[in-house]
Structure 1
Amino acid sequence: MAGNPSLRRRYNNILEFSAVGPASSLSDMVFGFLEDHADESPESRFSSGDDCDYGDEEDSCDVEENKAYWEEQINLLQATICRTNSIESKIRQATKEALKETIISHCACGRSTVGGVCRNCLRREVCNRLINLGYDCSLCKSKWRSSSSIPAGEHTYLEVVDRSSSKRGEMRVVIELNFRAEFEMARASEDYNRLISRLPEVFVGKTERLGNVIKILCSAAKKCMKEKNMHLGPWRKYKYMQAKWLGKCERSTPAPLPVSYSDRPTKPRASMLTFDLLEAMPMSALVQVV
C-alpha cells in the first residue's frame, strides 16, 4: 500500500461519514421506522414503490413519485449509517487506524496485485492489529448452499464480538473492507448509483444495522432493475446478501504475517553483479593485475 498513493488515499478517506450531530427529527423518525419494521421484508417496507407495474408503460410510476422514492432511500440509508453507538465508534476508529498503519510491501501469499497487497493479506493484517488492541476479532467465512431462489456461495469478512455489557449481552460488529463494491452494478441507473455513492468504502457496524442497510440497498436494486426492464440477478437479492454477513460462519484467528512482508527495512544482500572487485582486491594483487 505504501507504493500506491492512490490506494493509500483511498483508505485514508474510509469510514469518514457525514458529521453526526444531534439527531434531527427526520433521522429519529426514519431510524424508529427501521427499528419498528426490522422483521418486515423490503417489499412490504417500500410498498409505495413496488405497487407500480413496470412492465406496463401505461401504468408506469409518475416521475415525481419516482424522484421521491430515491430521495427517501438516501435519507433512510444516511440515517441508518450515521446512527451509531459507542462500541461501534471505537471499533470503527480502531479499524481506521489499523488500515492507516498497515503497510505491506508485497503479499505473503505470493500473489501479484496492484498496490502490492491482496485483500486477503490486508484482511489478515487488520484482524491481527485489532487483536493486539484487545478486541475479540476473527476472520469469518460464511458458506451457503444453493436453493430455489439463490445460488451457493461463500464470503470472508471480519467480525468483532463485544461482551463488555452484561445487560446488553453479546454484540457482533461486522467489518467489511470492500463494502461499496458489493452493491455496485454495471448497468445501474443514475439514481441507484447516487444511492450507492453514499456508502462507505469500509463498513463497521453491528449486525442489526447491517441488516437494515442491506434491506434498503436490495430493495433499491430491485426497483432499479424494474425501471430498466431487466432481470435482477439472484446474487443481488436480499437472501443472498443476508447469507454473506448474517448467516452461519466459521471463525478463525489468522497467523501473523512474516516480518519480511512488512515495511520493516531489510538488510541488503551482496551480489556478484554489483560487487566491486577492484575495491575488494588487495593492493599487491592489484599491482600484479596491472
Structure 2
Amino acid sequence: MLKIEYRIQSEIRVALQEILERYMLIGSKLRQEVNGIIEEAKETEFCSCINQYQTLSFDIGCINCLRKRVINLLCHKGLKATLCVSKWKHTKNYPAGSHEYIEVMASTQGRKKQIPLVIELEFRDQFEIAKACDEYMKLVDKLPLCYVGKTEYLNPIVGVMCDAAKRSMEEKKLHMGPWRKRSFMQMKWSSTSERRSLNDEPSRQLLHQSCSKSSKPAAAGIISKRKLDNSC
C-alpha cells in the first residue's frame, strides 16, 4: 500500500513539474516584463481602501487595489489589459461566488493574432490549505506566486493540484469542501465577454463592490464581466 501511495505521489510531482516547465518556456519575455510591472506597482501607494487587508502573498495593502494598479501600468506600457470578473450562481454543488483576475492580450512569435494571457496575482494562495500534508505543501511551494500565461497551462496545473488536494484531505481524514474541487477552481479563470471602461458608472459601482471600503476607483484600463450559469 505504501509503495502504491509513493508511486502516485511521484507521478503527481512529475506531472506538475512537466506542466510548469512547458509554462515557463512559453512567453518568458512577456512574463518577465509583467512581473517587473507588478513589482513596480507594489512600490507605489496603490491602495485606496479605508480598511486595508492582507493576503498570504501580499502584506502591503489591498489585493484588489493592487490588481487595478497593475492594469493601469500595463495599459500605460501600451499593453491591452483587462480586469475580468467571473461570477457563478449558487447550486446544489457549489456556493455562489466571484473572482477577479487580469487578462492581457499578447503577441507571440509566428502568430499575427494576439492571444489572451491570464495574470493571477495570488495564484499560489489559491491552493493553500491550513492542514495539508507535507507532500501537498511541497507541491504548493513549486507554484509561481503570480501566474502569467495561457489557460492551456493553467487548467492542467489546477487539475493536478486539486487531485493532490483531495489526496491530502483523505490522508488527514478531513472533508474536502466543494470550493477545492477542480470544476469549481477552474470557474475562477473562465473566459469573459462584456467589456466596459472603468470610467463608466456601472463599472465604478462594480469596482466599489469588489474592493470593499474603497474610496478611489482605478482611473484607467478596461473591465470585463460575465455571469456564469454553472450547473455542473
TM over 0.5: yes
Q: Percent of aligned pairs with the same residue?
A: 37
CA offset digits 1:198-252 (Å, max 9, x no partner): 1111111101111111011111111222223322100001111111002546545
Asked if 1:137 corresponds to 2:81, the answer is yes
> Matched residues in 1 for 2:196 and 2:15: separation?
34
> Residue 139 of structure 2 corresponds to which residue in structure 1?
195
Distance 1:106 1:133, change over 3 A: closer
> Residue 108 of structure 1 corresponds to which residue in structure 2?
48
Counterpart secondary structure, 1:76? helix
Matches within 5 A, 1:109-258: 109-113=49-53, 115-162=59-106, 169-248=113-192, 251-252=195-196, 254=198
Pairwise CA distance, 1:170: 4.8
> Matched residues in 2 for 1:93 and 1:157: separation?
18
Match of 2:18 among 73, 79, 103: 79
Distance 1:112 1:229, change over 3 A: closer
Asked if 1:91 corresponds to 2:30, the answer is yes
> Residue 212 of structure 2 corresponds to which residue in structure 1?
none
> Residue 65 of structure 1 corresponds to which residue in structure 2?
4
Larger relative contact order (C-alpha < 8 A, sep ≥ 6)? 2
What TM-score does the superposition give when structure 2 sets the normalisation length?
A: 0.75
Distance 1:198 1:254, change over 3 A: farther
Pairwise CA distance, 1:81: 1.6
Q: CA RMSD in A?
A: 2.6
> Matched residues in 2 for 1:105 and 1:196: separation?
30
> Matched residues in 1 for 2:46 and 2:73: separation?
18
> Residue 285 of structure 1 corresponds to which residue in structure 2?
none
Pairwise CA distance, 1:196: 0.9
Q: Which runs of 5+ in 1 are unaligned?
A: 1-61, 259-290
Q: Which has the higher strand share?
A: 2
Q: Which moved further from structure 2: 86-95 or 164-173?
A: 164-173
Q: Which moved further from structure 2: 91-100 or 152-161?
A: 91-100
> Matched residues in 2 for 1:90 and 1:252: separation?
29
> Matched residues in 2 for 1:252 and 1:154: separation?
18
> Matched residues in 1 for 2:194 and 2:110: separation?
25
Counterpart secondary structure, 1:83? helix
> Matched residues in 2 for 1:192 and 1:164: separation?
34
Counterpart secondary structure, 1:159? strand
Matched to 1:76, the amino acid is A
What TM-score does the superposition give when structure 1 sets the normalisation length?
A: 0.61
> Matched residues in 1 for 2:65 and 2:115: separation?
26
| Count of aligned pairs | 197
Q: Which moved further from structure 2: 81-90 or 162-171?
A: 162-171
Pairwise CA distance, 1:149: 1.9
> Matched residues in 1 for 2:69 and 2:51: separation?
16
Distance 1:220 1:249, change over 3 A: farther
Distance 1:89 1:165, change over 3 A: closer
Distance 1:208 1:182, change over 3 A: same
> Residue 34 of structure 1 corresponds to which residue in structure 2?
none
> Residue 222 of structure 2 corresponds to which residue in structure 1?
none
Matched to 1:63, the amino acid is L
> Matched residues in 2 for 1:250 and 1:189: separation?
41
Pairwise CA distance, 1:97: 0.9
Pairwise CA distance, 1:87: 6.2
> Matched residues in 1 for 2:181 and 2:144: separation?
20
